[in-house]
Structures are given as C-alpha cells and as structure tokens.
Structure 1
Amino acid sequence: MKVLLLLATLAFLSEGHCLHCYLYMVNDHEVQPSTDQPPSTLCPEDYTHCATVAWSTKLSTGDHVRHQEGFCATSSVCSQLCSKILADSELKSLQCQQQCCSKNGCNKFHSLGIMPGM
C-alpha cells in the first residue's frame, strides 16, 4: 500500500513539472490574425520555456510584414531566437523581439506587436 502511495505521489509531482505553452504562427500579410486560439499544449519534458518571437520583414514589393510565433523551447533556443532570425538573409528581417518565460501559458498571443506579459 505504501509503495502505491509513493508511486502515485511521484507521478503527481512529475506531472507538475510539465509545461504548457501556446503554439501559434501569425503574420499580417493578408489579414489581421484572430486572437482566438486553442488551449495551451503540453510541451515535451526537456522543454523548460514558453517562447514568443516577433519580427518584421520587408517584401520585394516594399510591404512590411509583421510575424509572431509562440512555441515550446529550451533555454539554449531562447538565447538565440533573434540572432538567428536577423542573420537569415532570406527573411530580410528589420527588427526582432524575443521573450521566454517558464510559467504555464505565459506566451499567449494577444496581437501582433504586443509581446505577452507587456
């Protein structure tokens, strides 16, 4: 009986370490994105952060497009988000903002240009 109680407690505690993040990818090229989104998603066990990255690009037509993505991430990915986007010559990024957090659902999409928690 004690073994079952111990196993149940360990299962409960390990479940508590799993992070839920919002997964989305939006841009304002064709239409203004909706703020409706599905519930947060359970991240893989080794992903410890919810990430949001927002950047703008300039199209060959001269139009500026804003992008924003939310996803599960590791701390090493979080530290490199904008540097990788700005270095990508195909994206032609003009500016980039990143935010990583470690609380459930902390990267919810509100609108383009507004980072979660701001």
Structure 2
Amino acid sequence: MVILPILSTAPILLGISSFAVGAFTPGIVPLVLGRLREMLPHSPTQQKIAWSRATTAFALMQAAAAYAMSFVFAHSNGQYLLLFMLAAVALAIAFVMLMLSPGPKAQR
C-alpha cells in the first residue's frame, strides 16, 4: 500500500494508501506486546521491563523519523515522492529484519 503514491497520485489510491499506512501505528502496539510475551513467556517482570523499553524506543524513533521526514521534505522542493520512497524502503527493511529474526522457542 505504501508504494501506491509512487505509482499513481490518483486521489482514491492516495486515500487507500493513507488509510492503510495510518492503521500501522495502532496495529504495531499489540504486535509488539504479543512478540514480547512470546520471547519472555514465563517472566512477567521481564515482559514489563521489555515493554517499557520498547515503548520508549518507539516514541523516540517516531519523533526522530518525524524530524528526518520534515528535513527531507523541506529540502526536496515540496515533493512527496522521495518521502514515499523512503517509507517503502523502511518497510522493506523491517520486513527483512522480521524474516531473519528467530521465531519463538519451542515449549519443552
């Protein structure tokens, strides 16, 4: 969905892309919480610590990304194409990292 603005600037496609990408932020929260519980299945204390660190890292990275995207936009003559391309690359990197990460350990 994030590549739609690169392919076309039709209003309906931009709307679909915006809706899909906008759903990522609240959707990430339960995914991360579930993954932390998989990684630390028998340790509520460790889960709480990991959740706290994940929340802090998410907030910091979201702020840093906002500043970076503002900088890129300001230096790209008001064009959005580079921003959409950077977002697509970021999603691709996240996908590769997810595929390379080890899965949950088998229950013994």
**Same fold per superposition (TM over 0.5):** no
Q: What is the TM-score when the length of structure 2 is the normalising length?
A: 0.25
